[in-house]
């Protein structure tokens, strides 16, 4: 049986990912900061016949991330789904806010990938990106800059790991959860399952298959 670790499991895409990768027969390793939520998700998966374990880890804490992979050396697929999504503007956002968001959205991913690559048989890394990476705007300043940095890292990692037959895929999610076509968490999770199967593209634009001309936030404003 294979093991899939999802870092960043909440009620949205994270839980849907756990459910779908679990339904395929994988043992699911769920990671987040809130023990009570993880326990609830585990019970839910268990009722659906899915085997899971969970770890309470804050990705901004390097010692905790290192310890996580020491406890879980046999993971095949890593999904980095953590994302701090608060909206802010370039004038009033504090350096503290930007630093915390950068640590959560970018450094946490880099740390997790580097630790995962030291484990026994890393095979696949999938990362949840966002359309904000492609469309910087005054309303999404820190989200856009961190998702752009994340995108840059993941595309570089894809190239670096190609010769090692380790697949790295960035899922650029160009929409808001539960708003519009294809944005139910279940549907979004299916795109990750497909990416893990195909093991081809460095970046998958979802939904639609190509980069949107305008951001999901502008689409929402236009109605």
Ligand X SMILES: NC(=O)c1ccc[n+]([C@@H]2O[C@H](COP(=O)([O-])OP(=O)(O)OC[C@H]3O[C@@H](n4cnc5c(N)ncnc54)[C@H](OP(=O)(O)O)[C@@H]3O)[C@@H](O)[C@H]2O)c1
Q: Which residues bind ligand X (CB under 6 A)?
A: 8-14, 32-34, 37, 57-60, 81-83, 85, 104, 128, 130, 173, 176-177
How far is it, in rounded angstroms, from Cα 158 to Cα 108?
Answer: 17
Find, among 35, 41, 75, the residue nearest to 55 by Cα.
35
Q: Are 173 and 206 in contact (CB under 8 A)?
A: yes
Nearest to 68 by CA among 40, 103, 32, 110: 32
- In whole angstroms, the minimum distance from the beta carbon of 140 to ligand X comes to 11
Which CB atom, from 76 or from 111, has the smaller least distance to ligand X? 111
- Compare residues 114 and 162 and give the one whose CB is closer to ligand X: 114
Is the CB of 23 or the CB of 58 nearer to ligand X? 58
CB of residue 193 to ligand X, shortest distance in Å: 15
Q: Are 128 and 83 in contact (CB under 8 A)?
A: yes
CB of 197 to ligand X, least distance (A): 20
Interacting residues of 5 by C-beta distance below 8 A, sequence separation 6+? 28, 29, 31, 72, 75, 77, 78, 79, 116
Helices (H), the chain: 13-23, 35-47, 62-71, 95-102, 108-116, 141-161, 185-198, 216-222
Smallest distance from ligand X to CB 42, Å = 13
**Nearer to ligand X among residue 11 and residue 73 (C-beta):** 11
Q: How far is the CB of 43 from ligand X (least distance, A)?
A: 16
Return the number of the residue (6 or 166) whose C-beta is nearest ligand X.
6
Rounded CA-CA distance 108/32 in Å is 12
């Amino acid at each position: 049986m294979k093991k899939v670790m999802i870092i960043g499991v909440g009620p949205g895409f994270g839980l849907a990912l756990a459910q779908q990768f679990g339904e395929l027969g994988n043992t699911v390793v769920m990671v987040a900061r809130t023990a009570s939520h993880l326990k609830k998700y585990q019970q839910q998966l268990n009722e659906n016949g899915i085997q899971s374990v969970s770890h309470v880890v804050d990705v901004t804490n390097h010692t905790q991330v290192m310890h996580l992979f020491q406890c879980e050396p046999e993971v095949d697929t890593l999904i980095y789904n953590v994302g701090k999504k608060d909206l802010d503007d370039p004038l009033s956002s504090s350096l503290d806010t930007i630093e915390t968001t950068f640590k959560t959205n970018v450094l946490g991913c880099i740390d997790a990938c580097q630790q995962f690559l030291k484990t026994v048989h890393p095979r696949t890394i999938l990362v949840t990106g966002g359309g904000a990476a492609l469309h910087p705007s005054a309303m999404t300043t820190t989200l856009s800059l961190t998702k752009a940095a994340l995108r840059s890292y993941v595309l570089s990692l894809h190239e670096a790991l190609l010769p090692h037959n380790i697949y790295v895929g960035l899922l650029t999610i160009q929409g808001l959860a539960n708003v519009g076509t294809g944005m139910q968490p279940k549907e979004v999770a299916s795109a990750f399952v497909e990416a893990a199967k195909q093991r081809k593209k460095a970046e998958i634009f979802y939904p639609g298959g190509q980069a949107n001309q305008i951001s999901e936030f502008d689409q929402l404003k236009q109605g």
